[in-house]
Amino acid sequence: MSREPRGPNEKLGTVLALAGISNAGLARRVNDLGAQRGLTLRYDKTSVARWVSKGMVPQGAAPHLIAAAIAGKLGRPVPLHEIGLADADPAPEVGLAFPRDVGQAVRSATELYRLDVAGRRGGGGIWQSLAGSFSVSAYATPASRWLITPADGSVAREAHQAARETENGGSEGGPVQRVGHSDVLKLREAADDARRWDSKYGGGDWRSSMVPECLRVDAAPLLLGSYSDDVGRSLFGATAELTRLAGWMAFDTGQQEAAQRYYIQALRLARAAADVPLGGYVLASMSLQATYRGFADEGVDLAQAALERNRGLATARTMSFFRLVEARAHAKAGDAPACGAALKAAEGWLERARTGDPDPSWLDFYTQERFAADAAECYRDLRMPRQVQRFTEQALSRPTEEFVRSHGLRLVVSAVAELESGNLDAACAAGARAVEVAGRISSARTTEYVRDLLHRLEPYGDEPRVVELRERARPLLVAAYG
Q: pLDDT tens for residues 396-416?
A: 887 666 788 888 899 999 999
Q: Give the model's pLDDT for residue 127.
A: 54
User: Which residues contact residue 112 at a Cβ distance below 8 angstroms, ignoring those fewer than 6 apart?
Assistant: 94, 95, 126, 261, 262, 265
Q: Compute the average pLDDT of residues 73-92.
A: 71
What is the structure's pLDDT at 477? 87
331 SS3 class: helix
Which DSSP category does 398 fall into? S
Q: Residue 88's pLDDT band (boundaries 50, 70, 90)?
A: low
pLDDT(456) > 50: yes
Identify which of 109-113, 215-219, 235-239 has the greatest average pLDDT: 235-239
pLDDT value for 480:
76
> What sign does the CA torsion over 86, 90, 94, 97 have?
positive
pLDDT digits (tens, 9 = 90+) for 4-21: 556 889 899 999 999 999
Grouping H, G, I as helix, E, B as strand and the rest as coil, residue 180 is: coil
- Alpha-carbon distance of 388 to 33, in angstroms, equals 32
- Which has more confidence, 405 or 380? 380
Q: Are 269 and 240 in contact (CB under 8 A)?
A: yes
Alpha helices in 439-463 (DSSP H): 444-456
Render pLDDT for 313-344 as a digit per residue (tens, 0 to 9).
999 999 999 999 999 999 999 999 999 999 99
What are the start-end ranges of the H helices in 122-275? 126-129, 140-148, 159-165, 181-201, 210-214, 220-223, 229-252, 256-273
Which among 112, 85, 106, 107 is positioned nearest to 120, based on CA atoms?
A: 112
DSSP-derived letter for residue 125 is -
Where does 102-387 sit in CATH, by number?
1.25.40.10
Mean pLDDT of the chain: 87
Could you tell me if 167 and 126 are in contact, meaning their C-beta atoms sit under 8 angstroms apart?
no
Confidence of residue 1 (pLDDT cuts 50, 70, 90): very low
In this structure, which CATH number among 1.25.40, 1.10.357, 1.10.260, 1.10.3470 belongs to the domain 10-88? Answer: 1.10.260
Whether residue 172 has pLDDT greater than 60: no
Looking at residue 175, the DSSP 8-state letter turns out to be P
How far apart CA 319 and CA 350 sit, in angstroms, is 8
Backbone angles phi, psi at 226, to 5 degrees: -120, 145
Beta strands in 255-337 (DSSP E): none
Angle ∠(384,296,34) on CA atoms, nearest 5 = 105
Residue 36 — pLDDT band, cuts 50, 70, 90? low
| Model confidence band, residue 171 (pLDDT cutoffs 50, 70, 90) | very low
Selected residue with higher pLDDT from 141 and 57: 141
pLDDT of residue 441: 85
Q: How far is CA 213 from the centre of its chain?
A: 18
Has residue 450 got a pLDDT over 80? yes
User: Any bridge partners for residue 178, and if so which?
Assistant: 226
User: Which range is least confidently modeled, 59-63, 124-128, 173-177, 465-469?
Assistant: 124-128
Percent of the chain's residues with pLDDT above 90: 63
Write down the pLDDT at residue 39: 64
- The amino acid that residue 189 corresponds to is E
Spatial separation of the C-alpha atoms in residues 216 and 259, rounded to whole Å: 16
CA–CA dist 63, 272 (Å, integer): 34
Return the exposure string of 37-57: e unless at least 16 CB atoms fall within 10 Å of the residue's CB, then b: bebebebeeebbebbbbebbb
User: What are the beta bridge partners of residue 58?
Assistant: 2
